[in-house]
């Protein structure tokens, strides 16, 4: 009997595989199979009403390369992802540092910052459409009270993407904060005590001890937020539907529009495949960079 | 013994009741929710307009409200999943796409012929899909896009409250005169309320008077289901869209910060707007009972050029997927018969479709009937192209880009023309 099989039998690996088989089967059925099917669809023109599948080769991908709106969507998605990852990670880490220190009512503040994360994105976005209203919204009212010029927010093509980014940061900092709290709590107190003895202040300890020692947590938060940000849809659909004038269109929204508004399922599938390649590439790159960063500490 | 007898009776009765209930056929009917079209009022005011049909045909019509902005997608998704409703109110601009996919049932020839010979000319114009073929019955209260204005605001600005601007130049001047700004220069009332966000087809509807009035041709062959071409990027359409842009950014007589144009007129934060006349007619008595308003054809480009009044309507259409197709076709024919047309148009203060109803009171002697008929002299309809969906998407994307300074007029219209012609080529 080959050695690997002997080892497997000795370690009873077959039981382990048997236990994870159901979840692997579901993963295959609901994740792997649809992904392969989507790639296959991208080589067809599809009419789901008449059930006609016409093979078109690489035509959908060639059209994609010339599609200005899709290129704008990719650009907007990348800009959105960069802002969300950087801002919500940084703010989450700062908040976590504050709330792991012994401050009063830390529990209450944690709940307040975490609440947006557990709120339905669609419901929250609907409320924010009123907050962003240029005529009677709260934000412009506050700007007027402060004597500042009002903004168009989601009605203005210049402000709309920033408005969605602000909403998304508000929505995600709570989750990042909780993850970082868990990470910071694993940093031994002795490191901080030693640093205090050596005369290091709070900020110095934050940059020299907390940040390096929560590197694994930071890597996870960055990768998780990157993947989520690249797939953004809900808040864009509710707040602006990709407008005004495609100013906030993102990749997943374009996939939705091509599939369900223009009935071009094959073309939408080609976009979905491009997004899949983009997400996988960025994730692999981040993973490789993070391994280097981790080992340097 | 008694208990056993009771159980036996129940055991026999319950299945019998279930069978009786199952005998009652069911039709599912979808309509657009909210204030999108005044013609959905019968389904929003608590009455059951299908009651008589249900009683006469031992059936039940389940009425379902669907959000307008996602209705087209929901209908298509339902079709793709084999779960389409039996009947739906379909926006005229969507019909080409559904007909192209074989989704809509043709109205039986006899019913179509009877309809065409009984209804007014503008209703015939929007019902005919070539050779007298129909794929739905258009609703009462035809959407005729008129300029509506607040007479008090005109008077306040020193303008004749009973006379609308006739040409683009006057219209622009009227908008400047009737706009009101506060001390910081921020508009509190626009001269002309505009549509610049949302469903592209809705945007084209609201700017049709300007673009088609400037000679834009969505399809050079208006009755061809396939073929033709779009002529969008012309000198006159560029001039028209540039004027719209300049009204926002140069004149500052209108703004991107105001809500739906009809809402603006009814809440008195706009002095003029151009949209479906029937919307204001039906909504004003309830939402703005003291509003003194007038209507007229939209302004024409210049002297010697006719204004353009877009005429369209929602349609009661039956889907080929319907398991009760014959009953559904019977239902839409009944719903749109002469008696119901008269009753509903009268109840909702709107306009009928049948010539005989137009000749009856209150319509024949209504003070606005002549003005409405004058409006219809300039009626134009969308082309019958199966690519209409794509054409309207292209144009509807170009207008907001210009209004929001995302693209120059020439670039936006050139792109729209390219995309519209690609859509036409795709249905060859």
- Give pLDDT tens digits for A71-112: 999 999 999 999 999 999 999 999 998 888 677 788 888 899
Q: Which of A68, A247, A260 faces B404 most closely, judged by CB atoms? A: A247
Q: Are B298 and B274 in contact (CB under 8 A)?
A: yes
Nearest-by-CA chain B residue for A48? B80
Burial class (CB in 10 A: 0-12, 13-18, 19+), B203: buried
CA distance B64 to B66: 6
Q: Which residue has the tokens 């993947």?
A: A227
Q: Are B149 and B293 in contact (CB under 8 A)?
A: yes
* pLDDT in the model for residue A7: 65
Question: Domain of A118?
Answer: 59-296
User: Is pLDDT at A296 greater than 60 in this prediction?
Assistant: no
Rounded to an integer, what is the distance from CA B88 to the centroid of its chain?
Answer: 14
Chain B residues close to A152, C-beta within 8 Å: 256-257
- According to DSSP, the residues that pair with B295 across neighbouring strands are B148
Ranges of residues in chain B with a pLDDT under 70 are 16-23, 428
Chain A residues close to B102, C-beta within 8 Å: 49-50
Q: Which of B101, B403, B406 faces A50 most closely, judged by CB atoms? A: B101
* pLDDT in the model for residue A187: 83
State the best of A134, A236, A240, A244 to mutate against chain B, taking most chain B CBs within 10 Å. A244
Q: How many Cα atoms sit within 13 Å of B35 on the Cβ side?
A: 15
Separation in Å, CA of B167 to nearest CA in chain A: 28
Q: Which of A47, A247, A260 faces B77 most closely, judged by CB atoms? A: A260
**Better pLDDT: B19 or A143:** A143
Give the alpha-carbon dihedral of B390, B394, B396, B398, to 10 degrees.
180
- Give pLDDT tens digits for A257-275: 888 877 788 999 999 999 9
Nearest-by-CA chain B residue for A159? B404
Nearest-by-CA chain A residue for B419? A67
Whole-number Cα distances in Å, B309 to B203, B204, B276: 15, 13, 10
Mean pLDDT of chain A: 89
Rounded to an integer, what is the distance from CA B281 to the centroid of its chain?
Answer: 14
- According to DSSP, the residues that pair with B380 across neighbouring strands are B310
Backbone angles phi, psi at A33, to 5 degrees: -60, -50
Q: Are A166 and A88 in contact (CB under 8 A)?
A: no
- Kindly give the pairing relationship between strand B143-150 and strand B309-312: antiparallel
Q: Are A244 and B199 in contact (CB under 8 A)?
A: no
Residue A12 lies in a domain: no
Residue A133 lies in a domain: yes
Written as six digits, the tokens of B329 are 């076709």
- According to DSSP, the residues that pair with B60 across neighbouring strands are B26
* pLDDT in the model for residue A8: 58
- Give pLDDT tens digits for A1-39: 567 666 656 667 788 888 999 999 999 999 999 989 999
Residue A50 lies in a domain: no
The SS3 call for residue B72 is helix
Nearest-by-CA chain A residue for B79? A49
Q: B257 and A261 in contact by Cβ < 8 A?
A: no
Closest CA to B141 of B56, B40, B229: B40
Q: Please tell me the total number of residues recorded for chain B in this structure.
A: 428
CA distance B206 to B199: 11
Q: The CATH number of the domain where A136 resides is what? A: 1.10.3720.10
List of domains in chain B: 12-141+312-367 (3.40.190.10), 143-311+383-426 (3.40.190.10)
* pLDDT in the model for residue A297: 52
User: What residues 407-426 of chain B have any CB closer than 8 A to a CB of chain A?
Assistant: 407, 415
Q: A49 and B76 in contact by Cβ < 8 A?
A: yes
For A119-156, the DSSP string reads S-HHHHHHHHHHHT-TTT-HHHHHHHHTTPPP--GGGS
Judged by a CB distance cut-off of 8 A, whether residue B72 touches chain A is: yes
Whole-number Cα distances in Å, B260 to A140, A226, B207, B269, B274: 20, 37, 13, 11, 11
User: What residues 370-399 of chain B have any CB closer than 8 A to a CB of chain A?
Assistant: 389-390, 393, 397
Chain A residues close to B73, C-beta within 8 Å: 260-261
CA distance B193 to B258: 7
Separation in Å, CA of A19 to nearest CA in chain B: 35
CA distance B50 to A36: 47
Residues of chain A whose beta carbon is less than 8 angstroms from a beta carbon of chain B are: 47-50, 68, 134-135, 150, 152, 155-157, 241, 243-247, 260-263
CA distance B236 to A227: 47
CA distance A30 to A21: 14
pLDDT confidence band for A44 (50 / 70 / 90): very high
Residue A36 lies in a domain: no
Written as six digits, the tokens of B72 are 């087209």
Separation in Å, CA of B393 to nearest CA in chain A: 9
Residue A205 lies in a domain: yes
CA distance B174 to B157: 9
Separation in Å, CA of A21 to nearest CA in chain B: 31
Residue A23 lies in a domain: no
Handedness of CA A232, A235, A240, A244 (dihedral sign): negative
Separation in Å, CA of B397 to nearest CA in chain A: 6
CA distance B320 to B339: 27
Separation in Å, CA of A245 to nearest CA in chain B: 5
Q: B97 and A260 in contact by Cβ < 8 A?
A: no
Q: A49 and B405 in contact by Cβ < 8 A?
A: no
Number of domains in chain A: 1
Nearest-by-CA chain B residue for A239? B198
Q: Are A84 and A230 in contact (CB under 8 A)?
A: no
Separation in Å, CA of A241 to nearest CA in chain B: 8
Residue A46 lies in a domain: no
Contacts with B7 (C-beta within 8 Å, 6 or more apart), sequence order: none
Separation in Å, CA of A268 to nearest CA in chain B: 14
Nearest-by-CA chain B residue for A243? B197
Written as six digits, the tokens of B102 are 């074989």
C-beta atoms surrounding A138 within 10 Å: 12
Q: Which helix (H) or strand (E) holds B28?
A: strand B25-32
Q: B403 and A245 in contact by Cβ < 8 A?
A: yes
H helix runs in B313-403, sequence order = 325-335, 338-347, 355-358, 369-376, 388-403
**Better pLDDT: A188 or A11:** A188
Q: Please tell me the total number of residues recorded for chain A in this structure.
A: 297
Burial class (CB in 10 A: 0-12, 13-18, 19+), A239: buried
Q: B389 and A68 in contact by Cβ < 8 A?
A: no
Q: How many Cα atoms sit within 13 Å of B319 on the Cβ side?
A: 25
Q: A260 and B76 in contact by Cβ < 8 A?
A: yes
Written as six digits, the tokens of A250 are 């993102």
Whole-number Cα distances in Å, B318 to A21, A153, B125, B133: 47, 42, 20, 14
Q: Which residue has the tokens 């969008």?
A: B232
Q: B257 and A262 in contact by Cβ < 8 A?
A: no
Kindly provide the ipTM of the predicted complex, given to two decimals.
Answer: 0.71
State the best of B78, B95, B97, B257 to mutate against chain A, taking most chain A CBs within 10 Å. B257
Q: B393 and A261 in contact by Cβ < 8 A?
A: yes
Nearest-by-CA chain B residue for A47? B101
Convert A85-98 to b/e letters by CB count within 10 Å (16 or more is b). bebbbebbbebbbe
CA distance B269 to B168: 22
Q: B80 and A49 in contact by Cβ < 8 A?
A: yes
Q: Which residue has the tokens 């969308």?
A: B382
Secondary-structure percent of chain A, ordered helix, strand, coil, rounded to 5:
75, 5, 20
Contacts with A53 (C-beta within 8 Å, 6 or more apart), sequence order: A44, A45, A46
Written as six digits, the tokens of B428 are 């060859």
Q: B404 and A245 in contact by Cβ < 8 A?
A: yes
Q: B256 and A260 in contact by Cβ < 8 A?
A: no
The SS3 call for residue A238 is helix
Residue A83 lies in a domain: yes
Burial class (CB in 10 A: 0-12, 13-18, 19+), B354: buried
* pLDDT in the model for residue B35: 75
Q: Are B317 and B332 in contact (CB under 8 A)?
A: yes
Q: Are B383 and B232 in contact (CB under 8 A)?
A: no
Judged by a CB distance cut-off of 8 A, whether residue B257 touches chain A is: yes
Whole-number Cα distances in Å, B361 to A33, A95, B280, B355, B369: 65, 72, 21, 12, 11
State the best of B72, B75, B76, B244 to mutate against chain A, taking most chain A CBs within 10 Å. B76
* pLDDT in the model for residue A48: 78
Percentage of residues in chain A with pLDDT exceeding 70?
A: 94
Separation in Å, CA of A115 to nearest CA in chain B: 29
A–B interface: beta-carbon pairs under 8 A: 63
C-beta atoms surrounding B186 within 10 Å: 15
CA angle A207, A209, A215 (to 5 degrees): 85
Q: A263 and B77 in contact by Cβ < 8 A?
A: no
């Amino acid at each position: 009997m080959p050695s690997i099989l002997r080892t497997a039998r000795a370690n009873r690996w077959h039981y382990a595989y048997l236990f994870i088989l159901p979840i692997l089967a579901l993963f295959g059925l609901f994740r792997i199979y649809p992904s392969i099917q989507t790639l296959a669809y991208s080589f067809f023109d599809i009419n789901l009403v008449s059930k006609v599948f016409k093979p078109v080769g690489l035509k959908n991908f060639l059209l994609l390369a010339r599609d200005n709106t899709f290129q704008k969507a990719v650009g907007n998605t990348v800009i959105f992802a960069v802002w969300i990852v950087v801002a919500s990670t940084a703010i989450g880490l700062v908040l976590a540092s504050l709330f792991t220190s012994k401050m009063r009512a830390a529990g209450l503040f944690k709940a307040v910052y975490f609440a947006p994360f557990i709120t339905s994105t669609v419901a929250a976005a609907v409320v924010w459409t009123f907050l962003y209203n240029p005529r009677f919204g709260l934000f412009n009212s506050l700007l007027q009270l402060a004597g500042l010029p009002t903004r168009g927010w989601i009605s203005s093509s210049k402000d709309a993407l920033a408005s969605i980014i602000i909403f998304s940061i508000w929505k995600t900092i709570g989750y990042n904060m909780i993850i970082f709290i868990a990470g910071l709590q694993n940093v031994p107190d002795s490191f901080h005590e030693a640093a205090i003895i050596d005369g290091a202040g709070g900020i110095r300890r934050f940059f020299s001890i907390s940040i390096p020692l929560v590197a694994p947590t930071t890597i996870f938060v960055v990768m998780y937020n990157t993947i989520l940000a690249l797939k953004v849809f809900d808040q864009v659909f509710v707040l602006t539907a990709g407008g005004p004038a495609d100013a906030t269109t993102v990749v997943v929204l374009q996939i939705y529009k091509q599939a369900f508004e223009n009935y071009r399922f094959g073309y939408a599938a080609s976009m979905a495949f491009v997004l899949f390649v983009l997400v996988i590439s960025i994730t692999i790159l981040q993973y490789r960079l993070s391994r280097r960063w981790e080992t340097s500490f | 013994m008694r208990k056993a007898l009771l159980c036996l009776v129940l055991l026999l009765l319950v299945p019998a009741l279930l069978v009786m209930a199952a005998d009652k056929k069911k039709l599912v009917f979808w309509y657009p929710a909210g204030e999108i079209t005044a013609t959905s009022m019968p389904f929003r005011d608590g009455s059951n307009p299908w009651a008589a049909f249900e009683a006469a045909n031992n059936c039940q019509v389940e009425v379902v409200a669907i959000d307008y902005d996602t209705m087209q997608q929901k209908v298509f998704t339902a079709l793709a999943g084999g779960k389409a409703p039996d009947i739906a109110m379909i926006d005229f601009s969507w019909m080409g796409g559904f007909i192209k996919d074989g989704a809509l049932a043709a109205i039986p020839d006899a019913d179509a012929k009877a309809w065409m010979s009984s209804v007014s000319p503008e209703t015939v114009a929007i019902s005919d899909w070539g050779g007298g073929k129909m794929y739905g019955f258009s609703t009462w209260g035809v959407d005729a896009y008129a300029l509506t204005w607040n007479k008090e605001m005109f008077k306040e600005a020193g303008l004749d409250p009973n006379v609308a601007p006739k040409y683009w130049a006057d219209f622009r001047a009227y908008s400047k005169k009737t706009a009101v700004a506060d001390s910081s220069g921020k508009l509190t009332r626009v001269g002309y309320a505009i549509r610049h966000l949302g469903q592209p087809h809705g945007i084209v509807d609201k700017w049709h008077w300007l673009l088609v009035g400037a000679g834009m041709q969505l399809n050079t062959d208006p009755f061809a289901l396939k073929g033709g071409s779009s002529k969008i990027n012309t000198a006159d359409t560029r001039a028209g869209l540039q004027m719209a842009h300049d009204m926002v950014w140069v004149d500052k007589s209108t703004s991107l910060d105001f809500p739906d144009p009809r809402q603006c007129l009814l809440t008195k934060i706009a002095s003029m707007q151009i949209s479906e006349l029937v919307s204001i007619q039906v909504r004003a008595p309830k939402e703005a009972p003291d509003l003194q308003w007038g209507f007229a054809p939209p302004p024409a480009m210049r002297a010697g050029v006719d204004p353009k009044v877009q005429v369209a309507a929602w349609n009661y259409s039956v889907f080929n997927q319907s398991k009760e197709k014959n009953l559904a076709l019977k239902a839409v024919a009944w719903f749109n018969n002469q008696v119901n047309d008269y009753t509903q148009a009268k109840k909702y203060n709107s306009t009928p479709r049948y010539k005989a109803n137009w000749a009856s009171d209150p319509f024949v002697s209504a003070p606005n009937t002549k003005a409405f008929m004058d409006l219809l002299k300039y009626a134009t309809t969308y082309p019958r192209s199966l690519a209409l969906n794509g054409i309207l998407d292209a144009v509807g994307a170009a207008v907001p880009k210009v209004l929001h300074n995302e693209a120059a007029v020439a670039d936006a219209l050139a792109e729209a023309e390219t995309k519209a012609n690609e859509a036409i080529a795709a249905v060859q």
